[in-house]
Amino acid sequence: MPLINALGYNVFDPTVVVPEFTADVGTKKGEKVDYAILRDGAPILLWECKRLGVNLDDAHCSQLFRYFTTTSARIGILTNGVDYRFFSDLDEPNKMDTRPFFEFSLRHFDDLSVSEIARFGSDAYDLEAILTLARELKYSKGIQRALAEEWLNPSEDLVRLLTARVYSGRMTQAVREQFTQITQQAMREFVAERVRSRLRTALASEGAPTMIESEAELEHDEPQELAETEPRITTTNDEIEAYFLVKSIVRQAVAHERVFMRDTQSYCGILLDDNNRKPICRLFFDSTQKYLGTVGEGKTVTRHPIATLNDIYQFSDELIASCKMYDGVTDASQPDP
């Protein structure tokens, strides 16, 4: 109801917002969907609401599926009051798609998400424009999923495509296996170099980043070297992979666009809002033994030895807690006393 109202639909007008909207579905009579938004007497948005806290991945939206075959509505929304998933019938007319074309969460959102959801507002609602956007988002997300799969495990088609551009020999089983490994490594190195390039640009424009240290941390950290004109900083593939791991973990608490990485000579810092005063964690990966530095109250850093990057998942609670700590502080941008 709050979001429906925020979108400009009068929830107290029964000709606009109808709770427990009823329509006959096949042999079933009196089937209801939780809310329907009407325009000129016809439903344009159907809402199925689950209780707060329900995981929408496990939720059934059978009402929405059935109503897509019997009403003129082209948009269905599944929500638990916090997370919202928007569906249409892009794959087959009058049959709701199994995948949402757009997702929105009150836990974390950005300006782009707000502008997208505004399209569903009473004043801005344009079905054709929304369906065009839905198709673009659907295929864009599909391509992103395909790229993620190729990143983890390059397909034979991709290996053949890239190999043909650099190798003129016969594609035997041995050659294919060799180039599968080469392709995977080349993809990782390509992304790593792109990230390093952005970091170099940031360092060149802002200077080497500095971090406010707590007194407790200074007692245990090694003395930092004096800044040099050209910092000798190399961001490793492990640091980049760890950065993406941390982003995936903390997205439960903050939007992934708010998580940044800045490498220094002593450690690789992962920050909230690209703000040195909001360290989420630190990566101490320069020695044989790798350490993850979690940030607690007072910005004290505790180092934890890790054997593999997957060990970072063991500290998910600490990483999420650090993000929530900063979001709960209103004067984070002010100098420490």
Q: What is the tens place of the pLDDT at every residue in 17-55?
A: 988 887 655 445 556 778 889 988 888 888 888 888 788
Contact between residue 284 and residue 301 where contact means Cβ atoms under 8 Å apart: no
* 247 and 304, same domain (yes or no): yes
Q: Encode pLDDT of 140-184 as tens digits.
A: 888 888 888 888 888 999 999 999 898 888 888 888 888 888 888
Out of 107, 141, 175, pick the residue that ends a domain: 141
Q: Name the residue with higher pLDDT: 219 or 280.
A: 280
- Res. 314: pLDDT tops 80: yes
pLDDT above 50 for 223: no
Rounded Cα–Cα distance for residues 135 and 132 (Å) = 5
Cα–Cα distance measured from residue 117 to residue 1, given in angstroms and rounded to the nearest whole number: 15
Do 17 and 49 meet the contact criterion of CB atoms below 8 Å apart?
A: no
* Together in a domain, 181 and 166: yes
Q: Residue 79 has which token pair?
A: 């929500």
**Residue keyed to tokens 């009407």:** 38
SS3 track for 298-329 = HHCEEEEEECCHHHHHHHHHHHHHHHHHHHCC
d(CA 304, CA 321): 16
Domain count, the chain: 3
The answer to whether residues 157 and 288 belong to one domain is no
Indicate if 40 and 124 belong to the same structural domain. Answer: yes
In a 10 Å sphere around its CB, with 0-12 CB exposed, 13-18 middle and 19+ buried, how is residue 215 labelled?
exposed
Angle, CA 80 vertex, CA 74 and CA 85 arms, to 5°? 35
Does 286 have pLDDT greater than 50? yes
Is residue 100 located within the same domain as residue 199? no
- Give the separation between CA 293 and CA 315, rounded to whole angstroms: 10
Angle, alpha carbons 86-87-90 (nearest 5°):
140
Residue 247 resides in a domain: yes
Residues 92 and 166 in one domain: no
Q: Kindly state whether residue 337 falls inside one of the protein's structural domains.
A: no
In whole angstroms, give the CA distance from residue 293 to residue 1. Answer: 43
The verdict on residue 146 lying in a domain is no
Would the pLDDT of 281 be above 50? yes
**Co-location of 175 and 222 in the same domain:** no
The full length of the chain comes to 337
Residues 217 and 115 in one domain: no
Between these two residues, 61 and 65, which has the higher pLDDT value?
Answer: 65
Same domain, 6 and 109: yes
Cα-Cα end-to-end distance for the chain: 44
Q: Check which CATH number belongs to the domain holding 130 and give it.
A: 3.90.1570
- Rounded to an integer, what distance in angstroms lies between the CA atom of residue 209 and that of residue 270? 12
Residue 165 structural domain: 153-207
Mean pLDDT for the chain overall: 79
Query: Kind of pairing, strands 42-49 and 75-79?
Result: parallel
Q: Please give the model's pTM, rounded to 2 decimal places.
A: 0.49
